[in-house]
Chain A
Amino acid sequence: MAGSTPASATASPAGAPPGGPGGAPAARAAQSVSPWTEAWRRFKRHRLAFWSLWLLGTLVAAVLLGPLFYKVGINEVDFSAKLSTPSWKHPMGTDDLGRDILARVLYGGRISLAVGLAAMLMAVTVGVFIGAVAGMARGWVDAALMWVTDLFLSLPQLPLLLLLIFLFREPLKAAFGLEMGIFILIVVVIGGFRWMPVARLVRAQFFSLREKEFVEAARALGASVPRQVVRHILPNSLGPVIVAATIDIAAAIIAESTLSFLGLGFPPDIPTWGRILYDGRDYMDLAMHWALFPGIAIFLTVLTINFIGDGLRDALDPRRVL
């Protein structure tokens, strides 16, 4: 899938500046700051990430609130205005049936964002669970789970995504209705192929954290294994998981658009960004705005999410001095 860049590009442990842990905050130790305030201060230092947060916020607000103000139906056919270029009446132009592209892009954005968030939640839940089990159990359980993880990493994802969606589309449509069925299918399938990096991250974190003194202290006080995990180990391993989760949203949005673009995503009458782009592709010489606007929407969303992920990586990495 496009954009599935492993999160470790700059977060590798060897990349820590020589300043070392705990060196920098000494000056600020006097005024006690909560970790989240500190993370926000560090995040703001990454200017591109900061502006990306604003841009993404604007995009999300437009997609969520836009249809309240911009009251044009996504299926209002107007043959007299077909393939018209952007104008005041149709800010993003119209398609071959004269339907307003802005309305369709706003509607498609809701689906894309919902798919991205839900698939990310699915991937992170599965990944954290498998990583935690492998990290706590060790031994043969760990070996078996990591073998499965490696197997999933070497599966050709896009062919399998296409195959799964093709095979299970009809029964889910029958079970949950047209839109909901496809939504569940796409979320489960995309999430099901994105949990592996999270599982590896969490497992590695667990291996080092479970031997730390504070966990040992909890163990000595008689904390059960679930309590050790939930109260002590997991909260301390969340930093890299949050970064991976952010990147996962972008990857899931790209995956969903790719499926729609290949004609195997949501059904044709539901306009997602990938689907509008796919439909507009055949009219590129006559009406390039049709393919251009949904493409720009995908690009801006993914770009801003990636920048935010980069900023979070800097902000949440305690080894990095900012």
Chain B
Amino acid sequence: MAAAWSDRAPLPNSAIAHSSTSAPLLNYIIRRLLIALPSLLGISLVLFTVLALAPGDPFEDLANNPNVPPEVRMALRAQFGLDDPIWERYLRWLGSMLQGDWGFSFVSRIDVDTLIGQRIGVTIAVIGMSQLVALLVALPVGVLAAVKPYSWFDRIASTLAFVGFSLPTFFTGVLFILLFSVQLGWFPFVYRADLSSTGWQWWVDQFKQSIMPIMVLGLFQAASWMRYVRSAVLDVIRLDYVTTARSKGLAERTVINKHVVRNALIPVVTLVALQMPAVFGGAIVTEQIFRIPGIGSLLIDAILRNDTPVIMAVTFVFSCLVIFFNLVADVLYGWLDPRISYR
């Protein structure tokens, strides 16, 4: 590693350097969080505007009900503040969201935050595992393809990558079910949250029912990541410092692993962060195909059943997740590229 960074100013003392790197990092994370706040406010504003502009009235049922006199309806509207100016309603909604009062699901009859709490774990697990799969596939394949560009391996890998991200996740999911569940009968095609088995068998069953959704999402991501990794490695590999590393007599493996890949990952991290909204979109589709009880399928159910508080909350949670992953990407970026100062 040191060779790649030899152009940096020499540090006075490694102990001092260590103690002084963690504090700026923390500062940097806090500052990034503060920058993320306006984005979150903007997103909440967009969300609220969409719902406020939307036609339809939560008291429509009452309006059509002859047993409810119009005065009662008007009193109810006033009581719930529906006649207040829109900015007042926005501030009130934002205030209660911040206090953790996310409302009450019209359909499930429980608090929205409880509902999301029950569901979010599965979503995070599936997304996390699939990102891991994507990384494990895309990184070695992309690097190998770039090390020998236009070789047979590169051509096959690049063509497969094109095929991979041209296959929409819903079609891959259907194909996987067709092949592995219907034809071969290896895996169940419905995800069950309440597995009856225990102990070792539980892990086996869990693996069997999770593998298809994780692969669908992971391989789709891997296809586009592989292209990023390949073009980033191709850009880096012809730089002078790589030639220097080779001429020092370092093994090719060391040159690639320690000198090329780390620098090549810097633009890849940015592109991956830009893709996060698409990942969550893919997760919603995957959850719907395999009937995984995560927040994506919760969102679809809520939309189909007109459950406004749940729709708002889940969309907001997705926004928070996207911003959180952008933050993670920024921190990773700083770790990969020490020239970025955490000021």
Q: Which of A118-126, A159-167, A226-234 contacts B (4 or more CB under 8 A)?
A: A159-167
Chain A residue numbers with a CB within 8 Å of B43 are 151, 154-155
Cβ of A163 and Cβ of B50 under 8 Å apart?
yes
CA distance A6 to B225 in the complex (A): 11
Beta-carbon contacts under 8 Å, B31-47 to A: 39, 42-43, 46-47
Chain B residue numbers with a CB within 8 Å of A170 are 55-56
Chain A residue numbers with a CB within 8 Å of B285 are 2, 158, 258, 261-262
Interface of B is mostly: helix
CA distance A298 to B169 in the complex (A): 12
Chain A residue numbers with a CB within 8 Å of B271 are 6, 8-9
Given contacts A8-B271, A15-B231, contact A160 B166 (CB under 8 A): no
Q: Give the interface residue-count category, chain B.
A: 35 or more
Cβ of A166 and Cβ of B303 under 8 Å apart?
yes
Name A residues whose Cβ lies closer than 8 Å to a Cβ of B. Answer: 1-6, 8-10, 12, 14-15, 18, 48, 147, 150-151, 153-160, 162-164, 166-168, 170-171, 250, 254, 257-258, 261-264, 274, 277, 281, 284-285, 288, 291-292, 295, 298-299, 302-303, 306-307, 310
Beyond A159-B281, A261-B288, A298-B171, 18 additional contacts (C-beta under 8 Å) are: A9-B271, A10-B227, A150-B39, A154-B276, A154-B322, A154-B326, A155-B322, A157-B278, A158-B285, A164-B50, A167-B51, A250-B166, A263-B304, A288-B178, A292-B178, A303-B166, A306-B162, A307-B162
Cβ of B304 and Cβ of A171 under 8 Å apart?
no
B282 contacts the other chain (CB 8 A):
yes
For the complex of A and B, the 6 pairs showing the least CB-CB separation, nearest first, are A158-B281, A167-B54, A156-B318, A303-B166, A295-B171, A2-B168
Chain B residue numbers with a CB within 8 Å of A284 are 174, 177-178, 182
Which chain B residue shows the least CB distance to A305? B166
**A-B residue pair count with CB separations less than 8 angstroms:** 162
Which chain B residue shows the least CB distance to A174? B55
CA distance A274 to B169 in the complex (A): 12
Chain A residue numbers with a CB within 8 Å of B311 are 163
Cβ of A3 and Cβ of B50 under 8 Å apart?
no
Cβ of B170 and Cβ of A163 under 8 Å apart?
no
Cβ of B174 and Cβ of A159 under 8 Å apart?
no
Cβ of A159 and Cβ of B299 under 8 Å apart?
yes
CA distance A158 to B279 in the complex (A): 10
Partner among A150, A154, A281, A298 whose Cβ is within 8 Å of the Cβ of B319: A154
Chain B residue numbers with a CB within 8 Å of A285 are 182
Chain A residue numbers with a CB within 8 Å of B224 are 5, 9
Cβ of B165 and Cβ of A277 under 8 Å apart?
no
Cβ of B171 and Cβ of A277 under 8 Å apart?
yes
